[in-house]
Each structure stands twice: as structure tokens, then as C-alpha cells.
């Protein structure tokens, strides 16, 4: 590819940012004044960027992406036309766990496919709400002082301000779909790792007649 063609492609990408920003703002029913208040960018600068009279820089795009709750690359380049496929990039975590982000929109509900390898329970807490769906294997879920075992096809949802942990129920990995709210990734450890499982509370014996 020659330099002239590369320059033409760059110009095309840059020319598309302004209209995309204007469309996002209008979809969210925001005025330029309201967006200026949120981002700290002047109304005149926002207007010039949207109209293509000013080239957007990272200093402008980063606060705009945050204000519109979209990933930065969503502002820079539109999805390929006619191709609905999502190109997944698995992230390999410690101890053999795998995380596959299915969405890329900061500030919104996030969806992940996870393969969790065996690990010790470590209770965490954070703002938000979580929803778990078991695809394969058995999931061990701890919420507060309660223990649950979920099998394929079963679902759990809970408030993440309560200490919780989830992972494989045995020595095999478990595969799940994991949804959480805008701040669900900001986990903070609330308890030391434990190796024991909280036993279920036995049912009360039936009352006997006097």
C-alpha cells in the first residue's frame, strides 16, 4: 500500500469522527451546552469537532468517550458494514482461567464468557449487581453466609455489595456467562481466602404434639 492511499484512509477515519460524535449526542438527547458541562470542553470546540472544522485529539476524544459511555475505538472507527460478527479476544488469567469479553461499552452492563479453573474462595464486594448462568460444569457460589451449587442451565443473581465468591464446585473447570453492572469490575477483597465450605443450615425438626 502506498503512502498516498494510507493518507487517504487516515483522512477518511478522521472525517467520520465528527458526524459520529454528533449522532451519539443527539441519540442521548444532549445539547452542546450539557455536553460541555460534562466534559469540560467548550461549546465552540465541541461544535467545531462535530462539524469537522477541528481535528479531534486524544485530549478531546477520551472525555467524550466517557461522557457517551462508549469505548474509544467506537468513536475512531465504525463497525465494518455488513459484518455482524464480533471478533472475540480471550484473556488468559492466572491458574488457567479464561475471560472472553462479549461487550466493550464502558459504563453499561458488561457481558463475559468465563472458564474458571479451581481456586480457593476469596470473598469480595463492590457496587453493582451480578447475573451468572452456568454453561458447563458445576459452579460453587457463596453470597454472605450462604452456599449454593449451580448446574448447567441454572442462574443466580445477587447484589454485589454483599461479600461473595464463585468458582468451580469441584476439581474441574466451570464455564459461565457473567453479567455485571457499570461498576462491577471494581472488586475489593473483604475477607481472607478460606479453604472450607460453609455447610448448609440443616432444616428444623418438625414440631411434635405435646
CATH number at residue 163: 2.60.120.10
* Same domain for 96 and 72: no
* Same domain for 177 and 133: yes
* Same domain for 64 and 19: yes
* Same domain for 173 and 124: yes
* Same domain for 145 and 56: no
Q: What is the pLDDT of residue 193?
A: 43
In the sheet that 146-150 helps form, which strands lie side by side, from edge to edge?
A: 146-150, 139-143, 164-168, 124-125, 188-189
| Whether residue 75 has pLDDT greater than 90 | no
Residue 198 lies in a domain: no
Domain boundary among 15, 50, 76: 76
Q: What is the pTM of this model?
A: 0.48
Residue 71's CATH number: 1.10.260.40
Residue 14 lies in a domain: yes
Residue 203 lies in a domain: no
Residue 159 lies in a domain: yes
Residue 134's pLDDT band, with cuts at 50, 70 and 90, is very high
* Same domain for 100 and 42: no
* Same domain for 109 and 29: no
Residue 77's pLDDT band, with cuts at 50, 70 and 90, is low
What is the helix (H) or strand (E) element at residue 11, kind and residue range?
helix 3-27
Rounded mean pLDDT, 123-143: 91
* Same domain for 179 and 102: yes
90-103 b/e (C-beta count within 10 Å ≥ 16 → b): eeeeeeebeeeeee
Looking up cell 479451581, which residue turns up?
118
Residue 195 lies in a domain: no
Q: Which residue has the higher pLDDT, 81 or 178?
A: 178
Three-state DSSP at 123 gives coil
* Same domain for 160 and 99: yes
Q: pLDDT, tens digit, for every residue of 155-190? A: 999 988 999 999 999 999 999 998 877 544 444 444
Domain that holds residue 127: 91-189
Rounded mean pLDDT, 114-120: 89
Domain boundary among 22, 42, 76: 76
* Same domain for 97 and 70: no
Q: What is the pLDDT of residue 71?
A: 75
| Whether residue 6 has pLDDT greater than 60 | no
Q: What is the pLDDT of residue 101?
A: 74
Q: What is the pLDDT of residue 68?
A: 80
47-78 b/e (C-beta count within 10 Å ≥ 16 → b): eebbeeeeebeeebbeebbebbebeeebbbee
How many angstroms separate the CA atoms of 17 and 76, rounded?
6
* Same domain for 51 and 123: no
Half-sphere exposure of residue 47, counting CA atoms within 13 Å on the CB side? 7
Residue 208's pLDDT band, with cuts at 50, 70 and 90, is very low
Q: Is 180 exposed, middle or buried (0-12, 13-18, 19+ CB in 10 A)?
A: buried
* Same domain for 117 and 33: no
Residue 210 lies in a domain: no
Q: What is the pLDDT of residue 55?
A: 86
Domain boundary among 76, 108, 127: 76
Counting the structural domains of the chain, the total is: 2
Half-sphere exposure of residue 67, counting CA atoms within 13 Å on the CB side? 26
Residue 150's pLDDT band, with cuts at 50, 70 and 90, is very high
What is the helix (H) or strand (E) element at residue 59, kind and residue range?
helix 58-68
Query: Do 153 and 118 touch, CB atoms closer than 8 A?
Result: no
Amino acid at each position: 500500500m502506498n503512502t498516498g492511499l494510507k493518507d487517504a484512509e487516515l483522512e477518511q477515519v478522521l472525517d467520520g469522527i465528527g458526524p459520529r460524535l454528533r449522532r451519539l449526542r443527539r441519540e442521548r438527547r444532549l445539547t452542546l451546552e450539557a455536553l460541555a458541562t460534562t466534559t469540560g470542553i467548550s461549546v465552540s470546540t465541541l461544535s467545531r469537532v462535530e462539524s469537522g472544522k477541528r481535528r479531534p485529539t486524544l485530549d478531546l476524544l477520551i472525555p467524550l468517550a466517557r461522557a457517551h459511555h462508549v469505548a474509544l475505538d467506537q468513536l475512531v472507527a465504525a463497525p465494518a458494514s455488513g459484518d455482524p460478527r464480533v471478533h472475540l479476544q480471550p484473556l488468559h488469567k492466572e491458574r488457567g482461567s479464561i475471560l472472553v469479553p462479549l461487550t466493550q461499552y464502558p459504563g453499561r452492563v458488561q457481558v463475559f464468557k468465563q472458564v474458571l479453573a479451581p481456586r480457593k474462595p476469596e470473598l469480595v464486594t463492590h457496587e453493582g449487581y451480578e447475573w451468572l448462568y452456568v454453561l458447563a460444569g458445576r459452579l460453587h457460589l457463596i453470597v454472605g453466609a450462604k452456599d449454593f451449587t449451580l448446574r448447567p442451565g441454572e442462574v443466580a443473581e445477587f447484589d454485589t455489595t454483599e461479600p461473595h465468591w464463585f468458582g468451580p464446585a469441584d476439581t474441574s473447570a466451570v464455564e459461565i456467562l457473567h453479567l455485571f453492572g457499570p461498576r462491577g469490575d471494581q472488586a475489593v477483597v473483604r475477607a481472607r481466602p478460606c479453604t472450607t465450605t460453609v455447610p448448609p443450615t440443616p432444616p428444623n425438626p418438625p414440631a411434635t404434639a405435646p
